[in-house]
Amino acid sequence: MTLEGLRCFCAVVDSGNFSAAAMRMRRSQPAVSQQLRSLEREVGYRLIDRKRGLPTPLGGLLYARAHQILHSVAALEREMSEFDMEVGHELRVGASDTTALHALPSVVKGFSTVAPQTRLVLVNRNSDAIATQVLQGSLDLGIVTLPQHHAELDEEELFRQRLVLATPAKHPIASKRSVKLEDLAGEPLLLLDAQTRTGALLRAYFHEQRFEPQIKLDSGSFEVIIRYIAEGIGLSFVPESVPGAGDKRIATRRLTGLPSVPIGVIWRKDAYRSKAANVFLELLRGAQEG
């Protein structure tokens, strides 16, 4: 078996067809097909069901092992490439918009000072999308909502994000000293999408408290929600560090019992963690201690 053959085989499984795999590999479709035929001749069995574009039972077994091998090879290649300390490199980090805007500026600034030769690529996605990219090897580190509970990932909690109630400053609730969940009955709520981990956490909390929210808007971004609160469209639960940003149109109140959101960093267990990744990780830890 060759690494090229395994790479083409995995690309076909990941892409679902030969043409997409060829584009991904930057090879011609006949070249990818030839690699797969050679691999099948070597093992003596079909590895891909051509009609469905899915791996056969033996193909599924090979895919799992080949994925591990290719990740290990990629890690080794990166480790060898970093042998020369003077060569500049790239660090790929995933984080949500909210984390990137409010938790990372000091870390990114410190990283640019400590590792000026390293290009930082910051990818903004939700936690599940980031975890997928870390698993695929397209991101070195991911800053996500925990837990991930994935056998191939290591995770480390960095901090807990406290949620607060954010309202338009002129809303009657903004003048209350103490706010309870039942005070929000019938109020228009702007909630983070249920497909996000924080959105799902809030809905689970509502269910536990037997509270039926009147949802006026679902959004995938806290930044969008905060802007709409300022416009008087509704109320929401947002991270304490985010709302306002000096905007006098927004008021915040703490609500007893609201769950906090664990935020942490993840990386592949079998991947080589570069010097740049270790520096960034230490800066993340230091930012929370400070």
Number of domains observed in the structure of the chain: 3
CATH number at residue 59: 1.10.10.10
d(CA 209, CA 257): 10
Q: What is the pLDDT of residue 217?
A: 94
Q: What is the pLDDT of residue 81?
A: 67
Q: Which of 21, 48, 81 is the last residue of a domain?
A: 81
Q: Which of 44, 59, 81 is the last residue of a domain?
A: 81
The mean pLDDT of the chain is: 88
On whether both 15 and 72 belong to a single domain, the answer is yes
Give the whole-number percent of the chain exceeding pLDDT 90: 48
Q: What is the pLDDT of residue 35?
A: 86
On whether both 239 and 274 belong to a single domain, the answer is no
On whether both 119 and 155 belong to a single domain, the answer is yes
On whether both 151 and 110 belong to a single domain, the answer is yes
CATH number at residue 276: 3.40.190.10
Residue with more model confidence, 43 or 199: 199
Domain of 147 in residue numbering reads as 90-159+262-289
On whether both 223 and 182 belong to a single domain, the answer is yes
Name the β-bridge partners of 94.
123, 142
Q: What is the pLDDT of residue 207?
A: 95
On whether both 234 and 268 belong to a single domain, the answer is no
Q: What is the pLDDT of residue 290?
A: 53
On whether both 182 and 226 belong to a single domain, the answer is yes
Q: Identify the band that residue 268 occupies on the pLDDT scale cut at 50, 70 and 90.
A: very high
Q: What is the pLDDT of residue 185?
A: 93
Cα dihedral sign, 289-252-130-115: negative
State the average pLDDT over residues 279-290: 85
Which among 138, 20, 13 has a CA at the least distance from the CA of 64? 13
Q: What is the pLDDT of residue 86?
A: 43
On whether both 143 and 190 belong to a single domain, the answer is no
On whether both 253 and 126 belong to a single domain, the answer is no
Non-local (6+) Cβ contacts of 132 within 8 A are none
Amino acid, res. 229: I
On whether both 151 and 279 belong to a single domain, the answer is yes
In this predicted structure, the answer to whether residue 288 has a pLDDT above a threshold of 50 is yes
Q: Identify the band that residue 1 occupies on the pLDDT scale cut at 50, 70 and 90.
A: confident
Q: Identify the band that residue 246 occupies on the pLDDT scale cut at 50, 70 and 90.
A: low
On whether both 77 and 55 belong to a single domain, the answer is yes
Question: What is the helix (H) or strand (E) element at residue 110, kind and residue range?
Answer: helix 105-114
d(CA 20, CA 33): 12
In this predicted structure, the answer to whether residue 245 has a pLDDT above a threshold of 80 is no
Instruction: Tell me the whole-structure pTM to 2 decimals.
Output: 0.68
On whether both 277 and 134 belong to a single domain, the answer is yes
Q: What's the angle, vertex CA 222, arms to CA 212 and CA 199, rounded to 5?
A: 40
Burial class (CB in 10 A: 0-12, 13-18, 19+), 159: middle
